Amino acid sequence: MTSVPSSPAQPARPLTRNDYKTLSLSALGGALEFYDFIIFVFFATVVGKLFFPADMPEWLRLMQTFGIFAAGYLARPLGGIVMAHFGDLLGRKKMFTLSIFMMAVPTLIMGLLPTYAQIGLWAPLLLLLMRVIQGAAIGGEVPGAWVFVSEHVPARHVGYACGTLTSGLTAGILLGSLVATLVNSIYSATEVSDYAWRIPFLLGGVFGLMSVYLRRWLHETPVFAELQQRKALADEIPLRAVLRDHRGAIAVSMLLTWLLSAGIVVVILMTPTVLQTVYGFSPSVALQANSLAIVFLSIGCVCAGALADRLGAGRVFVGGSLALLASSWVFYHSLHAHPDWLFPLYALTGLFVGTIGAVPYVMVKAFPAVVRFTGLSFSYNLAYAIFGGLTPMIVTLLLKSDPMGPAYYVAGICMIGLAVGLYLLAKKR
């Protein structure tokens, strides 16, 4: 990784009221934006029946519905790179506000879309278009949020700020799960199919637009403002400079994104289904345990970020990866014999998945301020599109031959986290 100053010097000061306001508004907006992005998956079955022909085979309908969901992931790299380009040239705040607007409006429209029975083929096409815009928005939001908060707080609190923000993003997944559970509890299956499925999308759109308004109170980052004042902004296309001068930083950032995406996708998003199909838990028990794991994941993100400030990211990744390896192995290995251990073991595993809270700490420091948004966004979004897409398929294939498949995959990812941690420690010596 190229050794470069990460940002103009910042005074060693404690976190102020303004810092906490910036963190709170950023984390709230991130949580709502992640809610908007993820809520689709909780209603995929209902949406599939309403937005595709009634005589279509069930497997094909589900495949096309999840194809539309996946389109959001495929749009992430392009959206993230374009928004990061302008974020490095025009300002962090502009793109930070634009990303949540681009998420809120399509979510609101999805809640109002006519179905296949009303407008035919236009229904799935419009749904696909909204999903692509959502993907472009999330591609700019996550890296933009990390850069935004890290450039607002003092250098010795960057880990805590990024960990807190990551905690907010994971809370958005929990919010989506809780809202989906609530809607399915209040309304009958017929009512959900008739109109109630629209409620979570409409709520997400309205709350998202409220976040756009709240972000008006945020200020441009001091780091970008200083670059602007010194006329030190990138004098060439930022992505070109990143690809030419910061390949080591890209490699480390992509490996850490693999760790982050695998932790979220396998332990949080896929495991509730595994608990039902492999271990025989009821859907309600699996979702309750999953909600508890997400709560502990959010706590773990904040702790990992704060520890990165105090101990360094290398030690956090070495300790966190080993702890996740041990807890996840015991979790997947013990449930057949000890189903009563589900809640404590899933909570503990969720806590150690929180090691990912230190990922943005490394990434924002890996690139110089002048191309930071582009470098982080390119690495994160490209890696997430590759590994976020491949992980479910690999884990599913592993599950076909062994019920411990998820544990094997998480163990492999922990080895990557351990290797990166040791590399970061060696680099400091």
Distance separating alpha carbons of residues 15 and 378, to the nearest angstrom? 29
pLDDT band, very low/low/confident/very high, at 233 (cuts 50, 70, 90): low
Other C-beta atoms closer than 10 Å to the C-beta of 196 total 18
Asked if 301 and 429 sit in the same domain, the reply is: yes
pLDDT greater at residue 227 or residue 325:
325
Is the pLDDT reported for residue 402 higher than 80?
yes
Asked if 286 and 207 sit in the same domain, the reply is: no
Asked if 81 and 219 sit in the same domain, the reply is: yes
Other C-beta atoms closer than 10 Å to the C-beta of 153 total 26
Asked if 114 and 253 sit in the same domain, the reply is: no
Asked if 273 and 166 sit in the same domain, the reply is: no
Q: Looking at 34-38, 192-196, 262-266, which range is the least confident one?
A: 34-38
pLDDT band, very low/low/confident/very high, at 336 (cuts 50, 70, 90): confident
Residue 36 placed within a domain: yes
Residue 425 placed within a domain: yes
Residue 256 placed within a domain: yes
Q: Which helix (H) or strand (E) holds 125?
A: helix 122-150
pLDDT greater at residue 197 or residue 235:
197
pLDDT greater at residue 403 or residue 418:
418
pLDDT band, very low/low/confident/very high, at 429 (cuts 50, 70, 90): low
Q: What is residue 288's predicted lDDT score, i.e. its pLDDT?
A: 86
Domain boundary among 205, 230, 255: 230
Asked if 193 and 315 sit in the same domain, the reply is: no
pLDDT in tens, 258-317: 999 899 989 988 888 888 888 888 877 888 898 899 999 999 999 999 999 999 999 999
Count of structural domains, the chain: 2
Residue 116 placed within a domain: yes
Residue 424 placed within a domain: yes
The two three-digit tokens of residue 309, written as one number: 């400030």
Asked if 123 and 224 sit in the same domain, the reply is: yes
Distance separating alpha carbons of residues 32 and 203, to the nearest angstrom? 10
Asked if 226 and 241 sit in the same domain, the reply is: no
Asked if 100 and 116 sit in the same domain, the reply is: yes
Give 277's Cβ-side CA count (13 Å radius): 11
pLDDT band, very low/low/confident/very high, at 168 (cuts 50, 70, 90): confident
Nearest to 318 by CA among 242, 246, 402, 417: 417
**What is the rounded average pLDDT for all residues in the chain?**
85
Q: What is residue 7's predicted lDDT score, i.e. its pLDDT?
A: 41
Domain boundary among 176, 202, 230: 230
Q: What is residue 370's predicted lDDT score, i.e. its pLDDT?
A: 84
Residue 10 placed within a domain: no
Asked if 197 and 219 sit in the same domain, the reply is: yes
Q: What is the mean pLDDT of residues 29-41?
A: 80
Residues 334 and 341 sit within 8 Å (Cβ to Cβ): yes
pLDDT greater at residue 181 or residue 319:
319
Distance separating alpha carbons of residues 257 and 382, to the nearest angstrom? 9
Residues 15 and 153 sit within 8 Å (Cβ to Cβ): yes
Task: Give residue 203's domain range.
Answer: 17-230
Q: Quote the percentage of the chain above a pLDDT of 90.
A: 34
Is the pLDDT reported for residue 401 higher than 90?
no
Is the pLDDT reported for residue 170 higher than 80?
yes
Helices (H), 263-366: 271-277, 283-311, 313-334, 342-353, 359-366
pLDDT band, very low/low/confident/very high, at 10 (cuts 50, 70, 90): very low
Q: What is residue 49's predicted lDDT score, i.e. its pLDDT?
A: 82
Q: What is residue 235's predicted lDDT score, i.e. its pLDDT?
A: 60
Q: What is the mean pLDDT of residues 178-197?
A: 89
Distance separating alpha carbons of residues 67 and 90, to the nearest angstrom? 34
Residue 4 placed within a domain: no
Nearest to 29 by CA among 190, 213, 194: 213
Distance separating alpha carbons of residues 93 and 219, to the nearest angstrom? 7
Q: What is the mean pLDDT of residues 239-253?
A: 89
Q: Quote the percentage of the chain above a pLDDT of 70.
A: 91
**Sequence letter at residue 19:** D
pLDDT in tens, 67-86: 776 777 778 788 888 877 77
Is the pLDDT reported for residue 5 higher than 50?
no
Is the pLDDT reported for residue 4 higher than 90?
no
Other C-beta atoms closer than 10 Å to the C-beta of 273 total 15
Q: Looking at 230-234, 306-310, 373-377, which range is the least confident one?
A: 230-234
Q: What is residue 350's predicted lDDT score, i.e. its pLDDT?
A: 96
DSSP state of 151: T
Residue 218 placed within a domain: yes
Q: What is the dihedral of CA 139, 141, 142, 143, to 10 degrees?
A: 80
User: 321-349 burial, b for 16+ CB within 10 Å, e for fewer?
Assistant: bbbbbebbbbbbeebeeeeeebeebbbbb
Q: What is residue 207's predicted lDDT score, i.e. its pLDDT?
A: 85
Most confident of the ranges 13-22, 54-63, 301-310? 301-310
The C-alpha R_g of the chain, in whole angstroms, comes to 21
Asked if 200 and 273 sit in the same domain, the reply is: no
Q: What is residue 327's predicted lDDT score, i.e. its pLDDT?
A: 96
Q: What is the mean pLDDT of residues 152-175?
A: 89
Q: What is residue 1's predicted lDDT score, i.e. its pLDDT?
A: 44
Domain boundary among 206, 230, 254: 230
CATH code, domain carrying 202: 1.20.1250.20
Is the pLDDT reported for residue 6 higher than 70?
no
Asked if 258 and 153 sit in the same domain, the reply is: no
